Amino acid sequence: MLASINRRISMSPTGAAVVIMLAGMLLFTANDAVGKWLTSSYSVGQLVFIRSFAALVILMPLVWRAGAAQMLAVERPWLLGLRVVLTLVDSFAFYYAVSYLPLADVMTYWLAAPIYVAAFAPLLLGEHVGWRRWSAIGVGFLGVMVALEPSEAMFSPAAVVSLIGSLCFGFVLLLARSLRSTAGITMIFWQTLGGTVIGFSTVFHSWTTPALPDWPALITLGILAMVAHVAVNWAFKLADAATVAPLQYTQLFWAILFGWLVFGDFPSIAKLIGAAMIIASGLFIYFRERHLKRGPPVHD
């Protein structure tokens, strides 16, 4: 009887991957919402430090199991170092941006990262990009401009920092292609250690002793991010990337929902149109790349 019930409610690996990936995107966005709430009381550097330190503590058992040799097994250390630096700029930029802009607005800029990857891949990785993907890249960049709502406001520090941060995130993704031989745990360890060290170095001039009620939220920053990373990695192991990768765009839904319910923000029509263009462009680029990798050589 129990075996029969278990068979009925059990999921296929693909179904489980979808659920896990959706949960991971929810956790990432919840982490961002908590970070936005805390930026009103704490400096960006302090948030990066506490988040990274909490994540590092959670990560250490996995690092211990992998061993020191695994942590040092990096084919091109300078590329990994550059990736750590870009990750730090990405983190600082994100927390700075959400302290001034609605969560959904900032998320819209960061969702353009796959478009930057496709645009710079020919230059940095020597990958061929044909007219179809260049057209999609153009639509994506146009979506970014629409989301910026061209005016004097687009040159505000928060908007500029958002663009810089999203570009850095795009290059972080791009470098992951060049570091395929490096284990995921190794890259996560070094970027988390970098966040801990650099974040700590900034708090001497901007430390605010957390109020007791804020400690759970501060620690949650690291826990949510680390669990979300684990969920995403797990989802990609259970199912094909073509199934789970597009689910990253559900973050925008959660960002709009959290922004509305928690902060009373709702994106403008221009932001929604721009986000739709960015998502459509990103999905086309992703599925076009998947099609070209599976099929025989064709003109893109």
- Give residue-wise pLDDT tens across range 2-59: 344 344 445 688 888 889 989 999 999 999 999 999 998 999 999 999 889 988 988 8
pLDDT value at 235 more than 80: yes
pLDDT value at 164 more than 80: yes
Q: What integer pLDDT is reported at residue 148 of this predicted model?
A: 76
Q: Which of 55, 20, 9 is nearest to 225 (CA)?
A: 55
Q: Which of 77, 187, 177, 184 is nearest to 127 (CA)?
A: 177
Distant-in-sequence, close-in-space partners of 257: CB < 8 Å, separation ≥ 6: none
Q: What integer pLDDT is reported at residue 92 of this predicted model?
A: 95
Q: Please report which confidence band the pLDDT of residue 154 belongs to, taking 50, 70 and 90 as the band edges.
A: low
Arithmetic mean of pLDDT, 78-84: 92
